[in-house]
Structure 1
Amino acid sequence: MTDKNTPARKSRRHRGASHGTSARHLVSPAQWRESMAIGAPPSPRIFAIAGFQAALAVLLAIVATHFSPWPQLVGFASLGALAALFGRFATVERRMRIVVICALLLALGVLVPSLASWAGAPPWMMAFALALVAGAATVAVSWWGLGGPGAVIIVFAAGAAYHPVGSGAEVLARVLATLAGGVVAVLTCLVTDRWRAPELKALRLPPAHVAPWSHQWIAAGRITACAALAAWIAFMAGWQHPAWAAIGAVSVLQGGHLHITMNRALQRMAGTIVGSFIVWAMLAQQPSFWMVVAAIVVFQFLTEVVIGYNYALGQITVTPMALLMTYLASPAVAASMPVERVLDTILGAALGIVFAVIFSSVDDRVYLHEHHSKDR
């Protein structure tokens, strides 16, 4: 019997692992079919509970801030409440630790670009600050084992803080509002997390794959560079939300393998186009504040329910939720948001694929080749 690790065997495997062959695999019909496949989440009930917790936390944070003396900070409070998205498969005790850490990371994500803006950073430096948040968040998610939805939520919070800051008091207000939303997330999970306990006892998940630290730092560097380039190109194109391009790049590069990266790119682009059309139709009706809040809560819940079946389905609902959160913070930019969201997403996803292929290792490309060979 021939050992699969003999030089001859390795040579045959590596012949299918060139950059060109990998690129052809990623645009093959099989890859497109795979990206459209509907899977089964490990536990629909836990996904639904996590969706309810996040939606409730966001609702409570919005309502409390709206009736406070600082209603203009409602967007940042709702961002902090997104900490409730993390740790859905962790034990009840560990979940609390994860949500607290994520609440702090969301606040730091808001702090860094806010400080850079207050210091008068030029646009290229703002893009670099956003990229640093993306890279640091990637490392933090791996270091603490925070799991999904990963660094992309931290980058989303940083993107909300991308706009100009007029004073140190405004920086402080943004951060405190985000932390307040995080406190709401912690309390919401603390009160409702017992609902997950029965399901967790019966759930058997495969152990999470933990890459060597050298690989994780390389991945963080790649994400930082790609996010910076995406944000800079978006800014040079005159788009108002370059952070969205960075978010697109980060979400794609979070994939553990090349075929997953491509699936995420295709799914994110398709879902964003549909979701942007939905929010365009909604904003064209000039909805009231409370109608927008209700839509955010519903879309947040639906996202967690459907995203386990296919990432594109999640993007159809998360795109309106994200754009409506942005609308609450900056109603003046409502008209251009849906179109720009699509353009930013396509830019970020395309750059993410290019970076993933160019900077892939031989092992990455061999895995892709063997993965597609199974479909023949």
Structure 2
Amino acid sequence: MTTTTRIRHSGTALAHAASATTWRKSLSLRPADAVFVPAMKVGIAASAVLVVGGLTGQQHLVGLATLGALVSAFGRYQPYGRLARQLAVVAASLLIATCAGALMGSAGVELWMQIALLSLIAGVASHIFHAFKITGPGAVILVFAASAGAGTAHSFTDIGPVLLAVFIGAAVGWLIALAPVLFFPMGPARLATARAIGAVLRWGEIGQSTIQETELRQAALLAVGTAHDSVAISASSPVPGKKRATALAHRAHALKALLAEASIVLLNEPQTAARLDGLARHEAALRKVRGRPTATALPEAPPAPARPRMFPTARIALLSKDSFSQALRMAAASALAGWAAVVLGLEHPLWASMGAVAAMQGLNYSITVQRSIQRLVGNVLGAVLALVLLSMPLGFWPAVVIVIVFVVLAELLVMTNYTLTTIVVTPMALIMTGLGTQLAPTAAFARVGDTLVGVVIGVLVAALSISISDRHHLVARRELHGQGEFHGLP
């Protein structure tokens, strides 16, 4: 690849970031399903640590405990056997990041060095989360926790209580996230199967050889494979009692049979309306809490495909050159944003680092730009809301109620649009940071300034380091101008 080609490709990427159509698309809403239960789990976990912390007189530590409880926001829709291990990785990472921040705060490490070390933590966390396929808020939570640790621990004797608060919060979040396994052990597998059937139905509605039909078929095949994996993991979950184990095996067999039916539909054309209608009835039943498949006879479930083991797979992914490169880009963007905020004299440079990390969590350049726009717009609107709230003489318990409401709203909105999520996350983060010590209303304006620096530098780093094979933003532009179709962007 020549230097001229690299410069031209980066220039096109920057032009995409400034396009009006890109901004309009970033503010569009997406349909979302199955958002209530994940939101309630995060809300319950946050409520538990906030209320108990307040009643025990630990108001200065409940913010850190709430950050720990946010482990429950990771890995939504994963089968419980995998979720338990993923959340353990998140909790350990959160404790390490908080400990690093607390050590720096206690030792009085200079701000520029704190920014460098926290940016390194963000890059490493991104690499680890990618290897373990951990979805959710991402590395930005670790930067938040590390900065909170640095701001709370002013001496080495403070480190123990800080880590204990995060540990307790993470333990509560882990338990709440996994609690439904006692009542609905096949819940994630049912949802994955329903989504796989839905993907097959969307493909079946096309009925002709087009680019869209090919992409929908690939999406359906991927969804069926994901559902098989979820069913296999859920079926292997240990349950007490022979009767429950037998019932679990029967439910797993029924889901495998439905996936076999969906695979038959995918592999045989043309499709009949009766066959598709039958699948639609299955999907509707699976999306109900206690719904059952409506067919009287299902095809024999084939042997489940070999299930990849989490840690060996992650070990291979840790050697991925692409993931390692993305981690370096994130760390660089985070450090540059934080240092730029210091040079500009901004009050909270680590917020700029968090803005860059949040932007760089996109899977490709187009998504990075979308997240940057969404975070900036959401922070501006959220800062207005935060300004109003911080201007009020909020006591501890009213602030707790507001934080809980915003936590639940953020989880309900995150799958629809990141802008809406950021609108409620901004005041939530500010109020949570100031629990026990009221923040000044000017903190809302500081948040906007630091976020602007973070997202601008994040986009610049992403554009200058963009892979020549990353052309998602070019395809998106063609779609917007009617020159082609593309349906792969979230």
TM-score (norm 2): 0.69
Out of 477, 480, 485, the residue aligned to residue 372 of structure 1 is 477
Q: Which residue number corresponds to residue 220 of structure 1?
A: 327
Q: Which residue number corresponds to residue 302 of structure 1?
A: 409
Q: Describe how 1:136-215 pairs up with structure 2 within 5 A.
A: 136-163=124-151, 165-192=153-180, 194=183, 196-197=187-188, 198-204=190-196, 207=222, 213-215=320-322
Q: Which amino acid aligns with 1:145?
A: K
Q: Deviations over 1:341-375 (max 9, x none)?
A: 111111100000000000111112x3322331222
Out of 347, 351, 354, the residue aligned to residue 457 of structure 2 is 351
Q: Match of 1:90, SS? A: coil
Q: Describe how 1:35-74 pairs up with structure 2 within 5 A.
A: 35-41=26-32, 44-45=33-34, 47-68=35-56, 70-74=58-62
Point out the structure with the larger helix share: 1
Out of 9, 30, 51, the residue aligned to residue 21 of structure 2 is 30
Q: Which amino acid aligns with 1:165?
A: A
Aligned 8 A contact 2:71 2:170 in 1:
yes
In 1, the alpha carbon distance for the partners of 2:8 and 2:36 equals 40
* Shift, 1:56, TM fit: 0.9
Out of 318, 332, 335, the residue aligned to residue 441 of structure 2 is 335
Aligned 8 A contact 2:101 2:148 in 1:
no
Greater Cα offset, 273-282 or 227-236: 227-236
RMSD: 2.4
Q: 1:328 to 1:229 in 2, by over 3 A?
A: same
Identical amino acids, percent of aligned pairs: 31
Greater Cα offset, 15-24 or 180-189: 15-24
Aligned 8 A contact 2:391 2:440 in 1:
no
* Shift, 1:141, TM fit: 0.7
Aligned 8 A contact 1:81 1:103 in 2:
no
Greater Cα offset, 79-88 or 25-34: 25-34
Aligned 8 A contact 1:132 1:224 in 2:
yes
Q: Which residue number corresponds to residue 364 of structure 2?
A: 257
Q: Match of 1:180, SS? A: helix
In 2, the alpha carbon distance for the partners of 1:81 and 1:351 equals 30
* Shift, 1:130, TM fit: 1.3
Q: Match of 1:121, SS? A: coil
In 2, the alpha carbon distance for the partners of 1:368 and 1:211 equals 27
* Shift, 1:329, TM fit: 5.4
Q: Which amino acid aligns with 2:93?
A: L
Aligned 8 A contact 2:106 2:150 in 1:
no
* Shift, 1:304, TM fit: 1.2
* Shift, 1:200, TM fit: 4.0
Greater Cα offset, 88-97 or 232-241: 232-241
* Shift, 1:156, TM fit: 1.7
* Shift, 1:106, TM fit: 1.4
Aligned 8 A contact 2:6 2:468 in 1:
no
In 1, the alpha carbon distance for the partners of 2:154 and 2:452 equals 32
* Shift, 1:29, TM fit: 2.0
Q: Match of 2:435, SS? A: helix
Q: Deviations over 1:144-169 (max 9, x none)?
A: 21112211111221221232633222
Q: Deviations over 1:183-213 (max 9, x none)?
A: 1111212323556444344233855998981
Q: Which residue number corresponds to residue 469 of structure 2?
A: 363
Q: Match of 1:374, SS? A: helix
Q: Describe how 1:75-86 pairs up with structure 2 within 5 A.
A: 75-86=63-74
Greater Cα offset, 57-66 or 236-245: 236-245
In 2, the alpha carbon distance for the partners of 1:356 and 1:18 equals 12
In 2, the alpha carbon distance for the partners of 1:356 and 1:211 equals 21
Aligned 8 A contact 2:372 2:455 in 1:
yes
Q: Which residue number corresponds to residue 7 of structure 1?
A: none
* Shift, 1:104, TM fit: 1.7
Flag as ranges the 4+ runs of structure 1 deviating above 6 A: 208-212
Unpaired stretches in structure 2, ≥5 consecutive residues = 200-218, 227-316, 482-490
Q: Deviations over 1:265-301 (max 9, x none)?
A: 1111111111111111112121221111111111111
Q: Which amino acid aligns with 1:220?
A: A
In 2, the alpha carbon distance for the partners of 1:211 and 1:37 equals 34
- Establish whether residue 129 from structure 1 lines up as the match of residue 121 from structure 2: no
In 1, the alpha carbon distance for the partners of 2:363 and 2:104 equals 31
Question: How many pairs does the alignment contain?
Answer: 360
* Shift, 1:229, TM fit: 1.5
Aligned 8 A contact 1:276 1:319 in 2:
yes
Q: 1:69 to 1:39 in 2, by over 3 A?
A: closer
* Shift, 1:115, TM fit: 0.9
* Shift, 1:22, TM fit: 2.2
Q: Describe how 1:10-25 pairs up with structure 2 within 5 A.
A: 18-25=9-16
Out of 315, 324, 330, the residue aligned to residue 422 of structure 2 is 315
Out of 342, 350, 368, the residue aligned to residue 235 of structure 1 is 342
Greater Cα offset, 89-98 or 195-204: 195-204
Greater Cα offset, 185-194 or 298-307: 185-194
TM-score (norm 1): 0.89
Unpaired stretches in structure 1, ≥5 consecutive residues = 1-9
Aligned 8 A contact 1:226 1:249 in 2:
yes
Greater Cα offset, 289-298 or 230-239: 230-239
In 2, the alpha carbon distance for the partners of 1:285 and 1:330 equals 13
Relative contact order, higher structure (CA 8 A, sep 6+): 1
